[in-house]
Chain A
Amino acid sequence: MIEYTLLAGLLFGLYFSLVGLGLNLIFGVMRIVNLAHGDFLMLGAFFAYWLFHLLGPNPLISLFLAFLLFALIAYPLYFLLVPRLLSARDPEMLSIILFFGLSQVLEALAVIGFGTSERSLPGQLLGHGPVQILGQNFPAAWATSGIASALAVVFVYFYLYRTRLGYLTRAVMVHHEEAVSTGINVHRVSAIAFGIGLALAAVAGVFAPFMLGSITPAMGIDITITSFAVIVVGSLGNPLGTVLGGIIYGISLMMMQTYLSSWANLLPYLLLIGILLVRPSGLLGRQVRRA
């Protein structure tokens, strides 16, 4: 029982790392809060659902299409919204409201396009039969999602630490003002990070029908909060931190569901508040100003 819980927690943890990753990247680079993160994930899920019914391909193909499509949409969206936002007096605060508005737009569009009913995809799409890991049986969909999530994290790691653009992205994360003054094209770097962030949300969405059950246009806000719990537990602006947060979150969730199931849905909220209160200085992006 405990082995099963821990391993299932690990698989879900990897998936939750992917769920939080895009939000973390965008916050780290732009210091803006994408409150529509969960809605982009929801759109990714509906995109996969729609592709399946239209063309019937394996969701793993949808994954690449979703990544490409959302990255391409996000790039101009960045220039439409973010530069103007960043020039305001308190961009971090205003971003919450702006992206809340965007989340309303996305949710409304999803309702108009797909209706309000719950949708789901058959789990067999991600492989047949149970998969054995260390003597425990898991649905193949869980294993596939977990592995794909791990690959996505590795992808982001390589982007940030092994490419020139990634190097510049990290420079913008750590020293925004200095990056501007050294002539880095901050908006281009940020727009690409924004694109990757939304694309990762969409990729996580492709797996949502298998990992989170059915999908609805209204699922966005809960996902956004879960993502926040994950990245706050880990550490902001660091993809490896997101993995830590995701795994802690996944395992705690499985433990709660196994041993305290009627209170399990409280977990993300309590975890989020608890971590913020216990370790605010380590997790807060904003430090005491240099007087």
Chain B
Amino acid sequence: MSPEPDTDTEADTGTGTTGTGTGTGTAAAPLLRIVGLVKRFGGFRALDGLSFHLKPGEILGLVGPNGSGKTTCINVISGLYRPDGGQILLDGRAIGGLPSHRLVHLGINRTFQVPKPFMTLTVRENVEVAAAYGRRRPGKTDIEALLHSLELDSHAKRPASELNSVQQKMLDLARALATAPRILLVDELAAGLNPAELERVGERLKALAAQNIALVVVEHLMGFIDQVTDRVIVCNAGRGIFAGPLSAAIRDRQVVEVFLGAEDDGGAA
């Protein structure tokens, strides 16, 4: 891992990096490198040569129309699907096709668009089991603090089935964080949250990045993407068509074409 404090990187990208994201010229070496990733479902290529990289402490947005491969990308990186081609390199080591629990132990975790917490277990047990099995090296997860930070502490002893959908999303995030990930893949966490909750979740994600965790955020709400990400990859038909800050993306002719129509939704939200 890079010893470089990442607040510098954040400040850099915050002011707007020029270029198209192929070389941002910062000190941190990429933690995760995706090279020409391919995933097929029958004849359909959900991922068709997607490439990007991710540095510690960075928040990368994955945006694009429905079916452009964003969630598939997260599913492949987190071991739900085996890649059909290309490479996933963590610290330069190929990890494509490893089972989920191995990836978790290597420091990769994720949240789910539709969270499926362990319903009959208590909120606390949900987090405990992840802390017990998911940590890559021995250490202690402060479960109380984690539950507190996600406003779940008052529900700790209740079964997860009694939580509302936003609380279940937070529990899913708590499950992921309990494993002390280096890379966190966030799949549509913002959907269904009210503006105040959105604001808090955004700050929360930024705080994680400040702790040197690298984040990939898949999201439809452009306002949220704008709030949290340093850089975005615009996906279309399983490929990246743009890499760089969102402010530059919306001026890119190809991106605008792909998003024609979808743009308004993003603006309104």
Contact = CB atoms under 8 A, between A and B. Distances in A.
A288 B114 contact: no
A291 interface: yes
Interface in A272-291: 288-291
Interface string B163-190: 0000000000000000000000001000
B113 interface: yes
B122 interface: no
A288 B39 CA distance: 15
B80 A288 contact: yes
Nearest to B120: A89
Interface residues of A, number: 5
Contacts of A89: 119
Interface string B104-116: 0000000011101
A290 B71 CA distance: 9
Contacts of A288: 80
B67 to A, nearest CB: 12
Interface residues of B, number: 10
Contacts of B74: 291
A290 B113 contact: yes
Contacts of A289: 114, 116
Contacts of A291: 71, 74-75, 80, 112-114, 187
A89 B159 CA distance: 14
A58 to B, nearest CB: 50
B115 to A, nearest CB: 10
Contacts of B75: 291
Contacts of B80: 288, 291
A63 to B, nearest CB: 42
Contacts of B187: 291
Contacts of B119: 89
A289 B114 CA distance: 9
A89 B120 CA distance: 11
A229 to B, nearest CB: 27
Contacts of B112: 291
Contacts of B114: 289-291
Interface in B116-133: 116, 119
Nearest to B119: A89
Nearest to B72: A291
B182 to A, nearest CB: 20
A17 to B, nearest CB: 28
Interface in A134-190: none
A288 B78 CA distance: 14
Interface in A81-108: 89
A89 B114 CA distance: 17
B162 to A, nearest CB: 13
A289 B116 CA distance: 10
Contacts of B116: 289
Interface in B163-222: 187
Interface in A62-90: 89
A90 to B, nearest CB: 10
Interface string A248-291: 00000000000000000000000000000000000000001111
A288 B75 CA distance: 11
Contacts of B113: 290-291
A280 to B, nearest CB: 16
A290 B187 CA distance: 11
A228 to B, nearest CB: 27
Nearest to B112: A291
B208 to A, nearest CB: 20
A212 B163 CA distance: 53
A261 to B, nearest CB: 42
B71 to A, nearest CB: 7
A291 B119 CA distance: 17
A290 B112 CA distance: 9
Nearest to A89: B119
A289 B113 CA distance: 11
A89 B116 CA distance: 13
B44 to A, nearest CB: 15
B40 to A, nearest CB: 14
A291 B73 CA distance: 11
A152 to B, nearest CB: 33
Interface of B: 71, 74-75, 80, 112-114, 116, 119, 187
Interface of A: 89, 288-291
The 8 closest A-B pairs by CB, nearest first: A291-B112, A291-B75, A291-B80, A291-B113, A291-B71, A291-B187, A288-B80, A290-B114
Given A89-B119, A291-B74, A291-B80, 12 more contacts: A288-B80, A289-B114, A289-B116, A290-B71, A290-B113, A290-B114, A291-B71, A291-B75, A291-B112, A291-B113, A291-B114, A291-B187
15 contacts: A89-B119, A288-B80, A289-B114, A289-B116, A290-B71, A290-B113, A290-B114, A291-B71, A291-B74, A291-B75, A291-B80, A291-B112, A291-B113, A291-B114, A291-B187
